[in-house]
Structure 1
Amino acid sequence: MRVVLAVSELGSVRAAADAVGLTPSAVSKQVRRVEDQIGRALFVRSRSGLAPNAEGQAIAGYAKRFLDLASEMGARFDRELVAGRVRLGITDDVGLAKMPELIRRCAAIHPGLRIELTVGHSSELRDLSSARSLDLAILSDGGFELPSDAIPLSSVPLVWIAGAGWRDEGGDLPIAISDEGCRWRAAALTALQGAGRSYDIRCTSPAMSGQLSAARVGLAVAPVPATVAALEAGLDAVRTSLPDLPKCHLGLVGDVAANNAVKTTADEICHVFGTEDLA
């Protein structure tokens, strides 16, 4: 099929031979073989070369469709049979929320793929990625703006959460937030100030687990990504009385084309987390 298509498109046995990596005599033999199998001539031969007749044009059309389908099939099975190790960094807040779905999906579709997880803050993962100690890393914009070359994943709303049964009694709002320099901390305080709501910082924790614990025991409310809140037992999103919070953004960094295993993992991450424009 490749030979017939090449001769049809290039109009020359020699040019077709160069294109498909065969000798001119081998190309001529394959063309005659196809003609013998079909039982009719496919090309009009002249001193200037070969031109496809009506049958030749029809066969060339079938050949192109056949080769496109073969390429599509090969690409699919190449991806499904992918194998290898991928070192993936994820944050301990947003990144972990969808990790079970990603791991289950990869195990079912790509059983030869081995994902090794490193959990840490986005700044740590960024540095590991830059040092090539990670193949891929999912970063959040809680501590810094995402790198310009990051693949933007779907944003996640920030929500206020509190222990089950918590009620807003008015007055100073007890809050549990991250330490200075956290963009989510700044967003929460800005939202409260913009709403004219006074607050009392009851817990400061650089780790999301500290903020969640403070909320769970009723010490304070905490601003966290909605995906995290949905997974935490004993915590509820506060949907009234408190000001709305902005979205947090995620980005995938790393050399996504490093090899087939990394590319496949990156594609699966984009499928599970979703993608969007940061604008």
Structure 2
Amino acid sequence: MQAFDIEQLRTFVHVVDAGSVTAGAAQVFLSQSAASEQLRKLEDRAGQLLLVRSKSGVVPTPAGQLLLAHARRLLALSDEVWRDLHGTPLTGELRLGITDYFRPNELTQLLAKLSTQHPGVRLRVSMGKSRLVEAEHAAGQLDIAITMRVDGKKTARSHPLRTEPLRWMAAPGKLPARGAPLPLVTLNEGCTLRALAEKALVQRKLPFDVVHVASGVAGMQSALAAGLGFACLNESAACEGVDIVAARAARLPALGVASFQMLPGRRGEDRVLREVRDLLVDQLG
């Protein structure tokens, strides 16, 4: 029978999250040698190399990344079945920080679904710029953090959630007026996408004028729907009244992609935090 061992998968996930075999082994109460043996057997079962050593520690290969995503879902489901059979629901309070750009039209429904499925878990959610979310996570003020990058890099040991194209957006049918500065709708200074959009326009020598500064993505969407201007947003921000602008037809520069990631956990996390982290990866990715 071709099947993976659930405990080998659990060890694999913890080693990847911890960035080392020694630290990952401690989280599943194994010696380093026992964890290494489990990983060897897992690679034998997979028939591929799953982990390599780098300057930042142990990192998954492309095959390891693929297995990691499946392993998280399998572990979350396995733990959920165990709780249902043994009457041990998840309970506790967690502080969750999320970049304002992450799935703006769906996030509240996804979090509501999680709360319905696990009523004993109290989520304290805050939204903000990625750099602020990262700073609060580093300071220990957040238990789980989801951030965005547009430079193509990945924070060490973070878990990739999704990648989206960046698009110019505006009210349906709205196109830039030729010869006039592009009216720009943004968040305030320090916003990653604002800086990216302004840089792209400067490089193309296209004049622009910041006409509306919103406090969040919802405010940007409202301003765009009202026809106030154009904005750089990730693709999932398109909504009723806000359309993607064909950049080439509008003579606007290409914008690249945005990558969303969950920042790595810390050593010694309790069971509730680890399991909620896995659930969020499964439901939000």
| Same fold, TM-score > 0.5, yes or no | yes
Indicate how the Cα distance of structure 1 residues 215 and 126 shifts in structure 2: closer, same or farther if over 3 A, else same: same
Indicate how the Cα distance of structure 1 residues 88 and 133 shifts in structure 2: closer, same or farther if over 3 A, else same: same
1:7 counterpart residue number = none
**Aligned-pair CA distance for 1:119:** 2.2
1:106 counterpart residue number = 114
Q: Are the aligned partners of 2:150 and 2:257 in contact in 1 as well (CA < 8 Å)?
A: no
Q: Are the aligned partners of 1:129 and 1:254 in contact in 2 as well (CA < 8 Å)?
A: no
Amino acid at match of 1:272: Q
**Aligned-pair CA distance for 1:216:** 2.6
Q: Which has the higher Rg, Structure 1 or Structure 2?
A: 1
Instruction: Output aligned runs, 1:263-278, within 5 Å.
Output: 263-274=274-285
Residues of 1 paired with 2:97 and 2:77: CA distance? 31
Residues of 1 paired with 2:120 and 2:93: CA distance? 9
Residues of 2 paired with 1:177 and 1:90: CA distance? 18
Q: Which runs of 5+ in 1 are unaligned?
A: 1-70, 275-279
2:146 counterpart residue number = 138
Matched position secondary structure for 2:262:
strand
Residues of 2 paired with 1:253 and 1:176: CA distance? 29
Count of residue correspondences: 202
- Give yes or no for the alignment of 1:86 onto 2:88: no
Q: Are the aligned partners of 2:129 and 2:191 in contact in 1 as well (CA < 8 Å)?
A: no
- Give yes or no for the alignment of 1:211 onto 2:215: no
Question: For 1:68-121, what per-residue CA distance to the aligned partner results, in whole angstroms no more than 9, with x for missing partners?
Answer: xxx999744335532222221122232644423432442354343222212222
Q: Are the aligned partners of 1:102 and 1:268 in contact in 2 as well (CA < 8 Å)?
A: no
Amino acid at match of 2:141: S
- Give yes or no for the alignment of 1:250 onto 2:254: no
Question: For 1:161-210, what per-residue CA distance to the aligned partner results, in whole angstroms no more than 9, with x for missing partners?
Answer: 11234233322322223444433223223433455544333234564345
Q: Which moved more, 1:260-269 or 1:88-97?
A: 88-97
Matched position secondary structure for 1:212:
helix
State the percentage of identical aligned residues.
27
Residues of 1 paired with 2:152 and 2:133: CA distance? 12
Q: Are the aligned partners of 2:76 and 2:278 in contact in 1 as well (CA < 8 Å)?
A: no
Q: Are the aligned partners of 1:154 and 1:249 in contact in 2 as well (CA < 8 Å)?
A: yes
Amino acid at match of 2:241: G
Amino acid at match of 2:176: D
